[in-house]
Amino acid sequence: MAKKVLVTGADGFIGSHLTEMLLEKGYSVKAFTFYNSFNNWGWLDTLPEKKLSEINIFSGDIRDPNGVREAMRGIDMVFHLAALIAIPFSYHSPDSYVDTNIKGTLNVLQAARELETEKIMITSTSEVYGTAQYVPIDEKHPFQGQSPYSATKIGADRLAESFYRSFRLPAAIVRPFNTYGPRQSARAVIPTIITQLLAGKTKIKLGMLTPTRDFNYVKDTAEGFVAIAESDKTVGEEINIASQREISIGDLASEIIKQINPNAELVCDEQRIRPEKSEVNRLLGSNEKIQKLTNWKPRYSLEQGLGETIEWVRQNMKCYKPDIYNV
């Protein structure tokens, strides 16, 4: 019998791709989406009708322990991705990040303990490391809360660790580095560059160009989640999903410009610059641990992933507002 899995945040960017992948791999999938009166299921609404009909949709609020517990009844494994993620928004609305990212994760952990869920994957982020103190960043790297967002994700990770150590809860902490691809919102750097270029702009507005990032194509990230879930060696572990390659924002922008409009140029937009001590200047992750514990390896080069992303955005420009700065 197919394992029953729940994906929280299934209506979001990574969550929708993971939901699709789990369905394709033969899992029985329940998708936890954010309740709203429009009955909007986020990116899941864009899936083919046949595929969508095979998904059990549960609309709720991750901040509500009763709804979370109800969604998790009868579930074998939980992929917990529901979170607030935009760093600039966390500067002025940190309370909502505490409620969603920390309390929401606590709700999942408490329900999993009560219901004796077989395995729980808690989604972390490379932002918990802050600016690299050494590279490649492995899972023993110190944590640095350089934004309210990263601080709440550190808190959620430590809660998950405490439930594993205190109650033997079968949790794994999944830590993707910078994921990109189709369906990503324009608050992230890659769709920000692509949408400005496809809108015909020749002066591309960005913040700092010198920070480096370790980019993962979303299908590789989703494969990492599944590999961690399916391995019997990952319970109680914190595991990076990283390409172990880095590129500066400036060089990344130049590559995208080359693919779309070589005549465009970069300009600095002050409102896009993070506070000095909050900017993460370097991210380069180690993927040694995930390759040791699972059979995962990244399959997409940055050039391949960017090509697929550009084509998808080209077909879906109506989903974006390239004239404004999206936080």
Whether residue 323 has pLDDT greater than 90: no
pLDDT digits (tens, 9 = 90+) for 51-69: 999 999 999 999 999 999 9
This prediction has a pTM of 0.96
Question: For residue 263, what are the CA distances in angstroms to 95, 160, 192, 251?
Answer: 43, 48, 17, 15
What's the whole-number mean pLDDT along residues 283-290? 98
Whether residue 270 has pLDDT greater than 90: no
Residue percentage of the chain with pLDDT more than 70: 100
294 DSSP assignment: S
What's the whole-number mean pLDDT along residues 94-103? 98
Which domains occur in the chain, in start order?
4-180+216-241 (3.40.50.720)
**Measured distance CA(263)–CA(42) in Å, rounded:** 35
**Measured distance CA(14)–CA(241) in Å, rounded:** 13
Query: Which pLDDT score, from 0 to 100, does residue 182 have?
Result: 98
CB-CB contact of 242 with 177 (8 Å): yes
- Burial degree of 129 (CB within 10 A; 0-12, 13-18, 19+): buried
**Measured distance CA(283)–CA(137) in Å, rounded:** 7
CB-CB contact of 231 with 170 (8 Å): no
Query: Which pLDDT score, from 0 to 100, does residue 205 have?
Result: 93
Rg of the Cα trace of the chain? 19
Whether residue 212 has pLDDT greater than 90: yes
Q: Which residues contact 101 (CB under 8 A, 6 or more apart)?
A: 83, 84, 149, 152, 153, 155, 156
